[in-house]
Amino acid sequence: MRTETGQVTSLADYRPTDFVLERVDLTFELDPTETKVEARLIFHRREEANPNAPLVLDGDELVLSSVLFDQIEIDSERYTATPDSLTIRDLPASEPFEITITTLINPEANTQLMGLYRSNGIYCTQCEAEGFRRITYFPDRPDVLAVYTVNIIADKAANPLLLSNGNFLGGAGYGEGKHFAAWFDPHPKPSYLFALVAGDLGLVEDTFTTVSGREVALKIYVEHGKEPRATYAMDALKRSMTWDEETFGREYDLDIFMIVAVSDFNMGAMENKGLNIFNDKYVLADPETATDADYANIEAIIAHEYFHNWTGNRITCRDWFQLCLKEGLTVYRDHEFSADQRSRAVKRIGEVRHLRSEQFVEDSGPLAHPVRPSQYKEINNFYTTTVYEKGSEVTRMIASILGKDLFKQGMDLYFERHDGDAATVEDFVQCFADVSNRNLSQFSLWYHQAGTPHVTVSCDYDTNAQTFTVKLAQTIAATPGQPDKKPMHIPLSFALLANDGAMIAPASASGGEVSENLLHLTEAAQSFVFHGVPERPVLSLNRSFSAPVILNFTQSSDDLALIARYESDLFSRWQALTDLALPVLCEGVKQVRAAQPVLFNDALKRSLLAIVADDTLEPAFRAQALALPSEADIARELGGDIDPDAIYAARKAIIHDIAVAGLDIFKGLLAQMATDAAYTPDAKAAGQRALKNAALAYVVQAENDPLKAAEAYAKANNMTDLSHSLSILAHHFPGTTETKAALSDFESRFANNALVLDKWFSIQATIPGEDGLVRIKTLMQSPKFNAANPNRVRALIGSFAFANPTGFHRADGASYSVVTEEILAIDKRNPQLAARLLTSMRTWKLLEPQRAGKARAALTTIANANDLSNDVRDIIDRILT
């Protein structure tokens, strides 16, 4: 049942359904505006249930055509139908019965993109989380698992392809130019994993032989003519299938696995059983149109959806509070897959950057919630970086606390014990407790307490006693609904480095559990003492980011420089550089605000340039080092009274200074990393391009001349180089002849490729400065823009609001008014998309007072609007409180 505005769903209220659903038979007679859906549902009453309880089915904007009981029309007194629910009374106490429901739905008018809708002439579905109830009345909750048969009838010429979950049963003509196809999915599944696709699409085919020798047909459907752009996705799929067999012992379980790419999709992709539906952005790639980042995303998302077949589909969630059970775990699995396919350290740096810039921000603001929330008003708003990314980090911590072997045993036990179940987070954690004999109850607080822990660190070396003491204290700030927090179990990976960079192995340690280079911080305050330490060591803490915490640890520039130079953990080397850079950048902001010149010491420059010039380090890592903390990172570090213009100016001045100091190195890299070899999307080649392009940005900034970027644009033979040089031109030299020429060349070259034009939109939407507002208003009028398509909206308005701090946070507040107006307009068509856009304003209270006042006024306009969707109402209420 779609909750009324403001209605809260609570985990504490969970109880099983009164009726068990045994079978589902669906027949769709597809029509663009009037599709008829017949659902035959076989139920029986649960033994424990009240014998008089009615059957209450969920609906959302449904029109009921008829309802039958055991094939006979039910007396109208026995049921009540509204668009949101169907209640049937006087049902048998124990024996099975059949309810047949016919509804009429309009796929063409479905602009929310939930339920059955049409995208570019293709019928497709999106049922997670509560979309199935927009197709028929149903017990639409994840703990109702059933076996489905699906019949699809449609016009044959327009829809040669009729697909659903499971295995193909057969098809035939149906008269009047129609045909039908039948599908059967033998694996019981919840309704959110149902999918249907019909239309006319091109096909890329392959096969995969599973570890036990079964052949699986692999099919990727894309728009006609785009087939060559789906070959990388197919390759990624096969690699994912092999990896899951080798790493987690998981074999695929149907005869066929299908992926369909559609152009209108609210999220990245969806793991429907045997029939994944993807946003085409995460399927289509070739060197001319996709960047290295696009290739990496495609690989990761193909893997993610495929991995859901076991973590999500075979074992699903009991209720939506358990969302992290499938999402956090599956993100962990896709992260590990990408780490194995690419550079583990570089992958980890990217993950941590993303976690800090998105999840840490969420966790410290008005939208903070636990990884396993206990209440929600709108479940669509809980597909968050906390559930996904922090959920993954929690799984990663279980793996590091238990160690590789016990973690594997715990996962095996989970698959064995819960296959076919709708499980809970407690079920999952219990498997690891059972294999390790560890009490994981304190650890489980990671699922229940919101907020990022802060760990304060101080160290003391005693020369006489040869002891090294590490004092740790943990705190978590209050978050909405959780004023007081308990101490957590925080696994901190560490190393002690000698003056020459060698690792020191202490004779022993006391003060708490210390295992395999892991300090287990479990108390609010705890001192670990290392004995037999022959010299004052430098502590490298939270290596590889073993715990998602904020360290308050003031280390000297010398200590950080030593870590940056010698740590064997590349992540920690990058972290040390970041720790050198952030205070410099924050000081620079103060200097700008005080109208002083931006001056800083040499330690950062020296460490950074030494790493960049070190040929023994992989290029992708060196490129990461050159990507200094972003404007958003600096804002987060400052923590309040944010002036985005000052942050931008300070960062630019510091980068300019580094660029001038390292100009020779950067020019050398530009030449050294250039290649005539044909483009390949592998991690090594991508890393070389990343370093070349980072060096180009520094050279251009040192010389303050668009020439080199214009040259790079002219000779680019792949989208990575092309879009990078275009963005350097646009961001540093807006309005110049070179930039105008490149922008118009790009527009005409890719006029027929909407996904590539999204890059054109987003590069322009992120040009710094207050003119950004006029620019996006003009671009919204472009015939290439389409406000009904989520990818277009995200590329233009989303990029502006999330990734253009100086443009979006114009001091006069004008951008807030324009974007909030857009959000209100989008809310009428697509509430999920509108609510997501609105989260761009979740940090408004941290702005300096003038901007904060303007932001509040714009948000109040939204709050006062009539007819807000549940989605937007939920977010606005939380961010305004």
Binding residues vs ligand 0A1 (CB under 6 A) = 126, 128, 266-271, 304-305, 327, 380, 383, 832
Between 327 and 351, whose beta carbon lies closer to Zn ion? Answer: 327
Tokens 């206990």 correspond to 374
* Strand ranges, E, within 156-295: 161-164, 167-175, 178-189, 196-199, 202-209, 215-222, 256-262, 269-270, 275-279
What's the CA angle centered on 199, arms 198 and 203, to 5 degrees?
A: 100
Cis, bond preceding 581 (omega within 30 deg of 0): no
269 binds, among ligand 0A1, Zn ion, none (CB under 5 to 8 A by kind): ligand 0A1
126 binds, among ligand 0A1, Zn ion, none (CB under 5 to 8 A by kind): ligand 0A1
Q: CA 680, CA 686: separation in Å to the nearest integer?
A: 8
* Nearest distance in Å: CB 229, Zn ion: 23
Beta bridge pairs of residue 189: 146
Name the token pair of 407: 């973690």
Reduce the DSSP state of residue 623 to 3 states and report it: helix
Between 572 and 830, whose beta carbon lies closer to ligand 0A1? Answer: 830
* Nearest distance in Å: CB 370, ligand 0A1: 19
Between 271 and 721, whose beta carbon lies closer to ligand 0A1? Answer: 271
* Nearest distance in Å: CB 184, ligand 0A1: 23
Between 137 and 307, whose beta carbon lies closer to Zn ion? Answer: 307
* Nearest distance in Å: CB 458, Zn ion: 40
Between 266 and 449, whose beta carbon lies closer to ligand 0A1? Answer: 266
Q: By beta-carbon distance, which residue lies closest to ligand 0A1?
A: 267
Note the residues at the interface with Zn ion (CB under 5 A).
327, 330
Write out the DSSP string of 546-613: -S--EEE----HHHHHHHHHH-SSHHHHHHHHHHHHHHHHHHHHHHHHTT------SHHHHHHHHHHH
The single residue of 223, 271, 299, 305 carrying the catalytic annotation is 305
Handedness of CA 27, 29, 35, 36 (dihedral sign): negative
Amino acid (one-letter) located at 808: F
383 binds, among ligand 0A1, Zn ion, none (CB under 5 to 8 A by kind): ligand 0A1
Q: CA 856, CA 283: separation in Å to the nearest integer?
A: 39
Between 117 and 407, whose beta carbon lies closer to ligand 0A1? Answer: 117
* Nearest distance in Å: CB 305, ligand 0A1: 6
Between 302 and 586, whose beta carbon lies closer to Zn ion? Answer: 302
267 binds, among Zn ion, ligand 0A1, none (CB under 5 to 8 A by kind): ligand 0A1
Between 325 and 551, whose beta carbon lies closer to Zn ion? Answer: 325
Reduce the DSSP state of residue 350 to 3 states and report it: helix
397 binds, among Zn ion, ligand 0A1, none (CB under 5 to 8 A by kind): none
Between 195 and 518, whose beta carbon lies closer to ligand 0A1? Answer: 195
Handedness of CA 44, 48, 51, 54 (dihedral sign): negative
> Which phi and psi angles does 574 have, rounded to 5°?
-65, -40
Reduce the DSSP state of residue 86 to 3 states and report it: strand
Nearest to 544 by CA among 351, 703, 720, 379: 351
Task: Encode 151-161: b = buried (16+ Cβ within 10 Å), e = exposed.
Answer: bbbbbbeebeb
* Nearest distance in Å: CB 559, ligand 0A1: 41
Q: CA 510, CA 343: separation in Å to the nearest integer?
A: 35
Task: Encode 528-551: b = buried (16+ Cβ within 10 Å), e = exposed.
Answer: bbbeebeebbbbbbbbbbbbbbbb
Between 327 and 657, whose beta carbon lies closer to Zn ion? Answer: 327
For helices 683-703 and 619-626, angle between their N-to-C axes, nearest 10 degrees: 40
Q: CA 619, CA 612: separation in Å to the nearest integer?
A: 8
* Nearest distance in Å: CB 331, ligand 0A1: 8
* Nearest distance in Å: CB 380, ligand 0A1: 6
User: Pairing between strand 146-155 and 275-279?
Assistant: unpaired
* Nearest distance in Å: CB 311, Zn ion: 9
Q: CA 156, CA 175: separation in Å to the nearest integer?
A: 10
Secondary structure element (H or E) that encloses residue 68, with its range: strand 63-69
What's the CA angle centered on 661, arms 657 and 667, to 5 degrees?
A: 115
Q: CA 435, CA 414: separation in Å to the nearest integer?
A: 10
* Nearest distance in Å: CB 267, ligand 0A1: 4
Q: For residue 305, indicate whether it is catalytic.
A: yes
> Which phi and psi angles does 22 have, rounded to 5°?
-95, -45
Q: What is the dihedral of CA 612, 617, 620, 621, to 10 degrees?
A: -70
> Which phi and psi angles does 77 have, rounded to 5°?
-70, -20
* Nearest distance in Å: CB 131, ligand 0A1: 7
Between 327 and 559, whose beta carbon lies closer to Zn ion? Answer: 327
* Nearest distance in Å: CB 269, Zn ion: 8
Q: CA 570, CA 568: separation in Å to the nearest integer?
A: 6
270 binds, among ligand 0A1, Zn ion, none (CB under 5 to 8 A by kind): ligand 0A1
Measure CA of the first residue to CA of the last residue in the chain; give whole Å: 27
Between 388 and 802, whose beta carbon lies closer to ligand 0A1? Answer: 388
Name the token pair of 770: 């207050």
Between 279 and 557, whose beta carbon lies closer to ligand 0A1? Answer: 279
Contacts of 335 (CB under 8 A, 6+ apart): 347, 351, 392, 396
* Nearest distance in Å: CB 192, Zn ion: 12
Give the DSSP letter of residue 53: P
**Active-site residue set:** 305
